[in-house]
Structure 1
Amino acid sequence: MIASIRCAMLAFSIRQDYTMKRRTFIALPAAMAAVALAGAAEPHAMPAPIDAARFHAMRKFATTRFGRIAYAEQGQGLAALFLHGFPLNSFQWRGALERLSPWRRCIAPDFLALGYTEVAAGQDVGPDAQVAMLVALLDTLGVAQVDLVANDSGGAVAQLLLTRHPQRIRSLLLTNCDSEIDCPPAALKPVIDMAHDGTFADRWLAAWVKDKPLARSREGLGGQCYGNPANPSDEAIDCYLGPLVASQRRKDLVHAYALALERNVLAGVAGGLRNSTVPTRILWGADDTIFAPPGGHYLDGMFGNSKGLRMIAGSKLFWPEERPEIIAGEALTLWGIS
């Protein structure tokens, strides 16, 4: 009898132990998933917004033969390179850097003659020199390959960089910019004419710095290039244009930048774009009056590994600054992250 009771108790104990282990086993994946999600949430939390004060504080410089190249950097890991428009600088990409730095080492340089880059004496600032400068910058920073994001004249430089150094580009996200059939766009002619006369910096840029509402007017930078009439903000105007009119040398460099765009700097790139295997996504502000929608369709059909064209309604040339969430979402998809 005692033996029977002991056997029964032993069997109950074995069943209870099995049940507890089974429950633990079933619960383990869920617990592990919760831990994984908790761990993932921390590094992917949204960084603090980048205002002008923080932008100035985070600026770095890389010394190259082209001069001291100003750049903003945020994040770590695989690198992404952001190329701004004219007459902007890396501040244009602040919203994208906030959103994408959890997944990439985001690097946004200021082009030669624009922003806070200190150009070496006698240095050319045309697109060919910009390409060479970017290669030197990446080498200085120890970056072998990048995911490239570009806008406006930065998009022209991106196409040249891709065709000349394809091994340096992992993917390309291209927004409103020059194409071989629209380079330079007709809307740039007044700027080029004033640059020839040496008056562009004073007549437009300095006037906009002095009169912010004028800068946001229909005839100003805002009306020409932004969809939201409240843009660019006062701090953005000062950040973009203030350095360009700070001295006569800076004004001369701005004029040199504009004059370098007078010729078709993309002549002959078609073959390189067709042969490219780099995954390329085209995003186009549909209301842009400087680079019209046909340019986006042309580029979509030209790239050998195009991932399609998306038209962004209600958006003009500098929409990436106004709608960084679109840049971030499309970039993550292109990079295979979401």
Structure 2
Amino acid sequence: MQRREWLKLTIGTLATGVLAGLRPDVAEAKADAEAAAAMVIDTPLDAVAWHAARRYLKLPQGRIAYVERGAGAVALFLHGFPLNGFQWRGALERLSPYRRCMAPDFLGLGYTQVTEGQSAAPDAQVEMLIAFLDTLDIGQVDVVANDSGGAVAQLLLVRYPQRVRTLLLTNCDAEIDCPPPALKPVIELARKGQFVAQWLTPWLADHVLARSPQGLGGMTFTYPQNPSGEAIDMYLRPLVEHPDQTHAYALGLDANVLAGVEATLKQRNTPTRIIWGTGDTIFSAESPGYLDKTFGNSQGVRRVPDAKLFFPEEFPDLIAEEARRLWGV
């Protein structure tokens, strides 16, 4: 029997067994587990496949959109701004044979439908993730995070250390750089209700502009052909359609949400690895060294020459390599 047939059979059997023993409400939330398992090896996660695989979990905070692939121990992938879980499609393809990989969309971003009046600040994102995990009866997770998702990951480790098995951080906030100065114009435009209209709507309409030095691509992607047309549409369309939620997310990043976490992070013994793109112009070049010294069980820093903020989307093999080393698989 070929390895990929064996993996499908094994994962499908595990999914069936798990479903049989779940509470009815949890079983309903996991009803598509076998179908997801069957996709583990062979189905590329392009936009069509991602839309087809998307599920929703109803929580007090809203209907949380997420995609999962694989079985077994859970890995939780936290995306950046203004992206969504689609950022991690390449990592899910490569890592789903080793983990049950889950990529939710944050409150205020992507396809998550937010309850009216619900905060989208990082503190609220942490509580949403805990409710997400609790509802699905998931205990510990391996966390992989980028950009503002990295700030949420650090808060998760500070407040719920027992839930984080390992932490793989890419370019993101640190207490000494939160929010980064480059984000201030975005926050000010969001405060005026103009960020979507002045930045995101033109990028969605003109992909050449979106990839230009003044666009999402030029500012945050390493290669000039990125993001792809389907990625631009996947990321920006839901934000343009719901500008108030998008602005609420941006305004939630105004304060230094990591103020005071250094002492606690030094006490945490969670294995943590940092991968940092050196071409990033958003976050401080001092941050990876600071984070390396701050985490109580840092496994060091890997620097990726010339890579910009959203390099995890462009270098999924590197993410998979580092994640497997950290996970010991």
Question: Structure 1 length as normaliser, TM-score?
Answer: 0.86
Deviation at 1:272, TM superposition (A): 1.4
Counterpart residue number, 1:158: 153
Deviation at 1:244, TM superposition (A): 0.6
Counterpart residue number, 2:296: 304
In structure 2, the gaps of 5 or more residues are 9-39
Do the aligned partners of residues 281 and 199 (structure 1) sit closer, same or farther apart at CA in structure 2, a change above 3 Å counting? same
Task: Give the alignment of 1:17-96 within 5 angstroms.
Answer: 39=3, 42-43=6-7, 46-96=41-91
Match for residue 265 of structure 1 among 244, 257, 270: 257
* CA deviation string 1:209-253 (max 9, x = no partner): 00110000001000000001000011101000000111xxx2011
Counterpart residue number, 2:316: 324
Task: Answer yes or no: is the 8 Å Cα contact 2:139–2:163 preserved in 1.
Answer: yes
Structure having the higher Rg:
1
Q: Partner letter of residue 240 of structure 1?
A: Y
Task: Give the alignment of 1:1-338 within 5 angstroms.
Answer: 39=3, 42-43=6-7, 46-246=41-241, 250-337=242-329
Task: Answer yes or no: is the 8 Å Cα contact 1:47–1:99 preserved in 2.
Answer: no
Deviation at 1:39, TM superposition (A): 4.7
Q: How many angstroms apart in 1 are the aligned matches of 2:142 and 2:240?
A: 32
RMSD: 1.3
* CA deviation string 1:115-161 (max 9, x = no partner): 00000011111011000000000011111010000000000000000
Percent of counterpart pairs with the same letter? 60
Question: Structure 2 length as normaliser, TM-score?
Answer: 0.89
Task: Answer yes or no: is the 8 Å Cα contact 1:93–1:108 preserved in 2.
Answer: yes
* CA deviation string 1:249-297 (max 9, x = no partner): x201111111111110000110111001100000000100001321111
Q: Partner letter of residue 321 of structure 2?
A: G
Deviation at 1:43, TM superposition (A): 2.2
Q: How many angstroms apart in 2 are the aligned matches of 1:319 and 1:201?
A: 23
Q: Partner letter of residue 43 of structure 1?
A: L
Deviation at 1:312, TM superposition (A): 0.5
3-state SS of the aligned residue for 1:207? Answer: helix
3-state SS of the aligned residue for 2:186? Answer: helix
Q: How many residues in Structure 1 have an aligned counterpart in Structure 2?
A: 298
Deviating beyond 2 angstroms after TM superposition, the runs of 4 or more aligned structure 1 residues are: 38-48
* CA deviation string 1:49-87 (max 9, x = no partner): 210000000000000000100001000000000000000
Deviation at 1:48, TM superposition (A): 2.5
3-state SS of the aligned residue for 2:178? Answer: coil
3-state SS of the aligned residue for 1:43? Answer: helix
3-state SS of the aligned residue for 1:123? Answer: coil
Task: Answer yes or no: is the 8 Å Cα contact 1:286–1:292 preserved in 2.
Answer: no
Deviation at 1:40, TM superposition (A): 7.5
Task: Answer yes or no: is the 8 Å Cα contact 2:177–2:284 preserved in 1.
Answer: no
